[in-house]
Amino acid sequence: MRTLLAALAVAASGLVIGSPAQASAPGGTGAVSRPAVIDVSGAEGGTAAQKQQALLDYWTPERVRRATGEGKDGPNGAPAGERVDPRVTAAVEGPYSTAVGKLVFEHADGRPDHCTGTAVNSESEILVLTAAHCLHEGPDGTWT
């Protein structure tokens, strides 16, 4: 799982570094293209391997814990609810992805956060899908 988490973080960060961000203009008037900004020392320029290493160095275990809230009892430190026994799930027929994990990131204001992310087989080999509400600050907000 730790390897998958690191892979998702690197893959998602590669999307931020390697491509322009697409943002919807206010009022739904169309897409506005702007360059993505990332402030990770060593991530700009260089080879793909150097970028990956810079991102792995940036997302230390402590930074991931802050983003995911690991160690807290519940939301905002509230006591955790009663634990329940795991349940058996139904078998899934057909193709499905086993590459699901946590996508860790920082909002534009520097606040660490996380969301579920799924690595997708793609031509670019750096595609991670997540929910839009994870990366948008709301009706009057911006894309992270």
The pLDDT profile of the chain, 144 residues, written as one tens digit per residue, is 455 444 445 445 544 444 444 444 444 444 444 444 455 665 667 788 888 888 888 889 998 888 887 766 555 555 666 776 777 777 777 766 677 888 888 888 888 889 999 888 888 877 888 988 888 888 887 787
Number of domains in the chain: 1
Tell me what pLDDT residue 38 has. Answer: 52
CA 15 – CA 126 distance, rounded (Å): 6
Q: With CA atoms as reference, report the closest residue to 54 among 10, 7, 8.
A: 10
Residue 113 resides in a domain: yes
3 state SS of 28: helix
Is residue 12 a contact partner of residue 128, using CB atoms and an 8 Å limit? yes
Tell me what pLDDT residue 87 has. Answer: 78
Quick count: other Cβ atoms within 10 Å of Cβ 18?
A: 13
Residue 104 resides in a domain: yes
Residue 83 resides in a domain: no
Tell me what pLDDT residue 79 has. Answer: 61
Provide the residue range defining the domain that includes 63: 2-73+95-135
Tell me what pLDDT residue 144 has. Answer: 72
User: Cα–chain-centroid distance for residue 16?
Assistant: 10
User: Cα–chain-centroid distance for residue 97?
Assistant: 17
Name the strand (E) or helix (H) holding 66: helix 61-68
Residue 63 resides in a domain: yes
Residue 46 resides in a domain: yes
Tell me what pLDDT residue 85 has. Answer: 74
pTM: 0.48
DSSP assignment letter at 75? G
Tell me what pLDDT residue 24 has. Answer: 42
